[in-house]
Chain A
Amino acid sequence: MGLKILTEHINVPGIETLEVYRKHGGYKSVEKALKTMSPEEVVEEVKTSGLRGRGGAGFPTGMKWSFLAKPEGIPRYLVCNADESEPGTFKDRWFMEHNPHALVEGMITSSYALGANKSYIYIRGELLFVLRILEKAIAEAYAAGLLGKNILGSGYDLDLHVAPGGGAYICGEETALLESLEGKRGNPRNKPPFPAVKGLFQSPTVVNNVETIASVPWIVNNTGAEYAKIGIGRSTGTKLISASGNINKPGVYEIELGVPVEEFIYSDQYCGGIWKGKQLKAVVPGGSSVPILPTNLILKTAAGEDRLMSYESLSDGGFVSGSMLGSGAFIVFDEDQCIVRNTWNYARFYHHESCGQCSPCREGTGWMEKVLHRIEYGHGHQQDIDLLVSVAKQIEGNTICPLGDAAAWPVAAAIRHFREEFEWHIKHPQEATAPGAVYRGQLAEVTA
């Protein structure tokens, strides 16, 4: 374990400058792609690599690229989704802050593959300080002839710009992002048409996550076949994991997909174990939207196999006993954490972030927040648990964008695995609302 594709040079002093970045092999993929490969060949390599979207959905990148419509005389766009806002996720911010040229290089090589002559990096507005870092890197790239007209004498032109958001989680959804990039409210679009046909300014557009795009240079330099050898099964390559919560070493770790979850939590190479010598209670393995799993189900699958850090293993058992790799945001809970309070916190988040366009999400997220709030603060009713399950079900699948699902899943999963804790809050409001009180009963056993 330990191959570093994205972070090999991230701690080199000055790596944020073009000079140092190039000394460490930076921009080789631009030379190789633009001078020796056709755009189609680059797309083929990415297909062969098995690279999957690193923003959360895990859709094969090469396939997404091949869907891009190419009508004559109409511009195409590549847009990088740097709106990283999923609670628990901070890998893209950290990566761009420390190694901005790696994203710029990925944008040039990927834009060439897609035939885009104008590309944008849409970054969340709270990260204006990272936007400054990226703009500086882009200016250096222009000055070195790596951006602009006739890049490295290849005849290929590309303009690259950074655009800030204004504070809205929903703009991480690709069609809301495109609306925002056009200067509007971030209301997701109905699909079809998909962005690959009608995206930015009604033109064919690909939207990819920061980490996805930053993985492309290695694939171009080393071939897709080599990339596909890394990782496990259909989870090829490496993944940046944002580790947070009650662990000794929070931070971003690049792992080869397939590392056992237990090793990831307890090894000093990664999270370094649970802080203050406490016991593990639960993990949200892929960002706030994915199902929370209690200790027994995060370490082993329902079938008793070791749970691995991969798309397939983390989702083994479906939502009955599994979860998702998502964006790789690994949030760890120790024994002192209250699941009801945490679930209310996420419900508040989704209510706050719902754009309000679809009524099941606009109303349902508000209901879930209110009902969870009253359970947490000792005013819950016996029927509230079933009410929450029912509201979550009515949101799920009934909205035009995935925010509805993202709001429903964490509530449904918390009740699925920690129902006793919710019941305890309702039955014993005085005990439950005492300062520092936490339910310490048996974790709900799951019968798959």
Chain B
Amino acid sequence: MAETINEVKFSDEAMAEIQRYISHYPEGRQKSAILPILHIAQAESGGWVSPEVMDKVAQILNIQPIEVYEVATFYTMFNLKPVGKHVLEVCRTGPCCLRGADQVIDMIKQKLNIEEGETSADGMFTLKPVECLASCGSGPMLQVREKFYENIDSEEKLDEFLETMRHSEAEKPHHLK
């Protein structure tokens, strides 16, 4: 059965996936599943985790809310405020910069009229430069949800990518596929 707390509700599929991760750890060590659960919670909640969502995670794991907050604020993948439909996580680290990542980030800012961390006026894109994504042989590159988009090495490719994303639905959470 789906569960609610302060109106936060996870789908049955999400709850099943959460239980599966909890079962991977020894008894009494259910807190270990916090990171996979936060990923599921974020995917279920429009790409970010609100305090209410974190409280819900704490309730599921039977731990204090602070234990969830301190983890969610440490790891960079968890967005603590609302984001656009597509979060563009662009690699800004050395190897990608050798092949033009700085220029890609500048072009995105210009084209979408946003700064780092901001969301475009139409709510479509959030720009979130990130550190090395282990795709250094195919830079410049960026990630949206679970997917990598690699070798974005010209303005044409970037335009094409943005245009495709504009007409794409946000990727569904994996457990709902």
Contact = CB atoms under 8 A, between A and B. Distances in A.
Contacts of A127: 134
Nearest to A85: B132
A251 B34 contact: no
B94 interface: yes
A373 to B, nearest CB: 14
A87 interface: yes
Contacts of A244: 95, 98, 136-137, 139
B94 A87 contact: yes
A345 B93 contact: yes
Given A129-B147, A167-B76, A246-B99, A185 B71 contact: yes
A349 B132 contact: yes
B98 to A, nearest CB: 5
B155 to A, nearest CB: 16
Interface stretch (A107-115, A175-183, A438-446): A175-183
B97 to A, nearest CB: 6
A161 interface: yes
Contacts, number: 150
A161 B24 CA distance: 7
Given A183-B31, A201-B26, A126 B77 contact: yes
How extensive is the interface on chain A, given as a class? 35 or more
Interface string B129-152: 011111111110001001110000
Interface string A245-281: 1100011100000000000000000000000000000
A166 B137 contact: no
B174 A132 contact: yes
Contact of A90 (B35, B38, B135): B135
A252 B134 contact: no
Nearest to B68: A183
Interface residues of B, number: 43
B113 interface: no
Interface string A186-207: 1000000000000001000000
B76 A245 contact: no
B114 interface: no
A164 B35 contact: yes
Contact of B35 (A88, A118, A169, A180): A180
B75 A242 contact: no
B94 A90 contact: no
Contacts of A167: 75-78, 130
Interface in A72-101: 75, 84-90, 92-94
A166 B132 contact: no
Interface residues of chain A: helix, strand, loop or mixed (majority)? mixed
B104 to A, nearest CB: 14
Given A166-B38, A349-B132, A182 B71 contact: no
Nearest to B37: A183
B138 A250 contact: yes
B135 A246 contact: no
Interface string B49-93: 000000000000100000100110011111000000000010011
B154 interface: no
A43 interface: no
Nearest to B61: A183
A306 interface: no
A166 B39 CA distance: 8
Interface stretch (A20-28, A217-225, A329-337, A420-428): A329-337
Contacts of A337: 98
Contact of B33 (A124, A128, A183): A183
A342 B39 contact: no
B36 interface: yes
Contacts of B139: 244
A353 interface: yes
Most chain A CB within a 10 A radius of its CB, from B31, B75, B92 = B75
Contacts of B130: 126, 167
Contacts of A120: 24
B29 interface: yes
A163 interface: yes
Nearest to B75: A166
A329 B136 CA distance: 9
Nearest to A410: B94
Most chain A CB within a 10 A radius of its CB, from B31, B71, B130, B131 = B131
Contact of A331 (B32, B71, B94): B94
B94 to A, nearest CB: 5
B29 A353 contact: no
Given A168-B76, A182-B31, A163 B36 contact: yes
B78 A182 contact: no
B41 to A, nearest CB: 12
B94 A164 contact: no
Contacts of A90: 134-137
B137 A250 contact: yes
A243 B137 CA distance: 6
B136 A250 contact: yes
A342 B102 CA distance: 11
Contacts of B35: 125, 163-166, 180, 183
Contacts of A341: 97
3 smallest beta-carbon distances between A and B, as pairs:
A166-B75, A167-B77, A167-B76
20 contacts: A85-B131, A87-B132, A89-B132, A118-B26, A128-B146, A132-B174, A165-B35, A166-B74, A167-B130, A169-B131, A180-B35, A181-B32, A183-B34, A184-B70, A246-B99, A250-B136, A250-B137, A329-B136, A331-B98, A346-B94
Given A84-B134, A164-B35, A245-B95, 9 more contacts: A159-B24, A163-B35, A166-B78, A185-B70, A185-B74, A186-B75, A201-B26, A349-B93, A352-B131
